[in-house]
Structure 1
Amino acid sequence: MADSPSLVEVRAQRASEPTFRAGTVADIPGFRALGEAVVPSTYGPIDAAYAQRMLDEWWVPEVFETSLARNTHLVAEVDGEVVAMANLGRVSRSYRDFPYVTGDREVMWKLYVHPDHQGRGIGRRLLAGIEALVEGDELWLEVVDGNAQAYDFYRAQGFEEVERVDGGPWPDDVWMRKELPMDRAR
């Protein structure tokens, strides 16, 4: 019988340093698994039906295929497993309509870190990677009203709340923007 790994070995495996790379279609199952780990615990307390809607409508292979074709995706992986992802695109190339948005904003549509890997700086590193890809001088994002952890994270990273959009039967969308220096390295 093989020896079981010690607690120290298990912690060392979990603490493996993440690698960062561009996302691909091969990551779609990993994206879905990440969504299943993050969405219910993040959005369930806000609105369980909305959390399920997110998984059913926005965390499905067809949407990721479209998103990968239109947007830039960054992935953090540990031992071959997707543990975080972020993506960047323009409002004009979204598969969703935003009739209340003026201009062609560059938007970080997703930034999610698996709960087992939060607190390790992965989210900040993905955000820095996204910021480096922005062509203009500002980055936008949406946060679901009630997601205080994400809201507070983005505020700490220099984002400011700009507008709230009535979600109707769903939680409101909070749009945040960060001004980026034009002379930043790309």
Structure 2
Amino acid sequence: MTPPRVTLREATSADAESIGDTHAASIRALGPDAYDERQVRAWLSNVPPDRYPLEDPDHHVVVAELEDGDDEIVGFGVLDYDSDGRDDRSTGEIGAVYVHPDHVREGVGRAILAALESAARDAGLETLVLTASRNAIDFYRRQGYEEIETVSLEMAEGVRLECLRMRTALRAA
């Protein structure tokens, strides 16, 4: 069976709820592969639709939709051009790449990541960093990202997720 084709577009404020739904579905389905129930619940508590930087000029947010025309968002990604306000203007940060669990391993995540990397190159960035949850580390390794360090993110008071900080050098397309 051929996987469905997707199209990518820049997200709009009207997409916030669908992005949140995709984000939560991904965490619910894939999070338990890497974290316990309490950690997954805490992770989910950080998914309100108003948290996405859809109107922020320092961010680029893309959504993936199925080409069959039903406008269903099956994934999204966030690029922060000015990661943490650092003086190093050559480094950006991938803030998210999430795919709906019904469409994992169909190339959606790779397409989203490629679009974000292309936007980063177009903006003159030379390096991208990200913080990968345990269940996403292998995906990013396959895309050429290298380990920097293990970090622990607080999702709720007293609930932390061990993640891996990673980076890649952007090469000309």
TM-score scaled to structure 2, two decimals?
0.81
Cα displacement (A) at 1:140: 0.8
1:31-110 superposed matches below 5 A: 31-45=19-33, 46-57=35-46, 59-64=47-52, 67-70=53-56, 71-78=59-66, 79-89=70-80, 90-92=82-84, 103=88, 105-110=91-96
**Which structure has more strand as a fraction of its residues?**
2
Paired amino acid for 1:126? I
**Which structure has more helix as a fraction of its residues?**
1
Cα displacement (A) at 1:16: 4.1
Gaps in structure 2 of 5+ consecutive residues: none
Paired amino acid for 1:38? S
CA distance in 2, matches of 1:16, 1:123: 13
Cα displacement (A) at 1:102: 8.7
TM-score scaled to structure 1, two decimals?
0.75
Q: Would you say the 8 A contact 2:74–2:103 is kept in 1? A: yes
Cα displacement (A) at 1:103: 4.8
Q: Among all aligned residue pairs of Structure 1 and Structure 2, give the percentage whose two residues are the same amino acid.
A: 30
Q: Would you say the 8 A contact 2:65–2:75 is kept in 1? A: yes
Paired amino acid for 2:83? V
Structure 1 residue 138 and structure 2 residue 127: aligned? yes
Q: 2:137 aligns with which of 151, 154, 169?
A: 151
CA gap of 1:138–1:52, structure 2 versus 1, over 3 A, is same
Question: Which protein has the larger Cα radius of gyration, Structure 1 or Structure 2?
Answer: 1
SS in 1 for 2:148: strand
